[in-house]
């Protein structure tokens, strides 16, 4: 590219900051009370909640943890004490609807098994609270539509926990592609998977809605969409599952799927519960850009090839930034009236595509989808 190392690093640092800044809604926002942060109630105190979300809320500029919801009294006691949450702000699933009467709670963050997302999001909207819900948004497109309708009826925001939409390395790749640095994108590869341990709720279809595609494969799907910058018009898929493996009695292990986009670009994607993957690449007529690992909690790395030279692209990013920006973004949208970057429509689009991917694998044919 003709840059010396010092210039390139400086420009890329600026690009990384700019990409993250672009995730902030354009409408001006201000705290209704400058001395008060946006209050989250975390619903479900499992691994992701206690090890990723709750610690990062303490680092947010605009947001804070104010309440807990769990069906396990011991968890409410433990984490209530750890985060100084008063007993009046600790809820069970039985008295969940009482959040309506707590003015400290502005939003709930639903971190429950997939089958519970719709119910607890809809109930939160009806209680007059904004909603952040983990992905996948729900088990079916119809449940997604119910969530969207409930938030709209309540005049509240609904956002889905697509943390990668706020992760600087991913955003850098998206913006570099948009800028035309790699020419017209012709091929995208996106691979996500791990060797799933037995005995977890993700392997129980009534709770999860499916197997690897509903869990880790959604990263491949969503990345293909944001790298392409357009919506697919056709999907085709093949499932490979060893039904003698007790983990896969009622969910799939691996699905390989292909997306065709209106531009002619093709995405080849992997979703697996029996092999390790975390990478993507977008290839155009001028070169390629990719990441490995692409969507982890930390340790992101970008590589690119231009003018016959392959190199790593360094970005200096605060490691907690993707979660902090994600959770503060909902606060900013609630105050400004702007629509969230990853709202309910984003979650619904993925679920409609997941439904089509499952159908293609089941019927052994390509499925046309709305572009």
Tell me the catalytic residues. 135, 219
> 3-class secondary structure for 264-331?
CCEEEEEEECEEEEEEEEEEECCEEEEECCCCCCCCCCEEEEECCEEEEECCCCCCCHHHHHHHHHHH
Q: Where are the alpha helices (DSSP H) in 96-201?
A: 117-126, 141-154, 168-178
Three-state secondary-structure class, residue 121: helix
Q: Which residues neighbour 316 within 8 Å (Cβ) at sequence distance 6 or greater?
A: 13, 16
Whole-number CA gyration radius for the chain: 21
Phi and psi (nearest 5°) for 181?
-60, -30
Give backbone dihedrals phi and psi of 323, rounded to 5 degrees, phi first.
-75, -45
What are the E-state strand segments in 167-211?
A: 185-195
SS3 for 63? strand
């Amino acid at each position: 590219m003709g840059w010396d190392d010092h210039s390139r690093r400086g420009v890329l640092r600026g690009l990384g900051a700019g990409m993250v800044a672009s995730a902030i809604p354009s409408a001006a926002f201000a705290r209704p009370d400058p001395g008060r942060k946006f209050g989250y109630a975390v619903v479900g105190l499992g691994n992701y909640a206690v090890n990723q979300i709750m610690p990062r809320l303490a680092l947010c500029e605009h947001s804070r943890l104010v309440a807990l919801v769990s069906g396990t009294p011991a968890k409410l006691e433990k984490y209530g004490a750890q985060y100084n949450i008063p007993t009046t702000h600790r809820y069970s699933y039985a008295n969940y609807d009482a959040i309506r009467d707590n003015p400290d709670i502005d939003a709930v963050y639903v971190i429950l098994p997939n089958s519970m997302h719709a119910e607890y999001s809809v109930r939160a909207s009806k209680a007059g609270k904004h909603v952040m819900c983990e992905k996948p948004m729900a088990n079916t497109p119809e449940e997604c539509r119910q969530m969207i309708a409930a938030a709209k009826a309540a005049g509240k925001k609904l956002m889905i926990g697509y943390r990668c939409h706020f992760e600087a390395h991913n955003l850098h790749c998206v913006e570099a592609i948009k800028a035309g640095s790699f020419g017209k994108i012709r091929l995208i590869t996106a691979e996500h998977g791990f060797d799933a341990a037995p005995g977890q709720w993700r392997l129980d279809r009534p709770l999860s809605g499916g197997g690897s595609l509903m869990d880790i494969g959604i990263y491949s799907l969503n990345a293909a969409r944001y790298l392409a910058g357009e919506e697919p018009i056709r999907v085709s898929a093949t499932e490979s599952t060893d039904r003698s493996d007790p983990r896969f009695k009622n969910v799939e292990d691996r699905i390989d799927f292909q997306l065709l986009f209106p531009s002619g670009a093709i995405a080849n994607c992997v979703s697996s519960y029996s092999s390790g993957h975390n990478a993507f690449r977008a290839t155009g007529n001028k070169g390629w850009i990719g990441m490995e690992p692409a969507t982890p909690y930390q340790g992101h790395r970008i590589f690119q090839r231009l003018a016959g030279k392959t190199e790593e692209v360094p970005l200096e990013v605060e490691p907690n930034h993707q979660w902090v920006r994600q959770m503060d973004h909902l606060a900013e949208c609630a105050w400004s009236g702007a629509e969230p970057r990853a709202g309910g429509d984003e979650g619904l689009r993925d679920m409609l595509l997941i439904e089509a991917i499952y159908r293609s694998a089941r019927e052994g044919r390509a499925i046309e989808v709305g572009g």
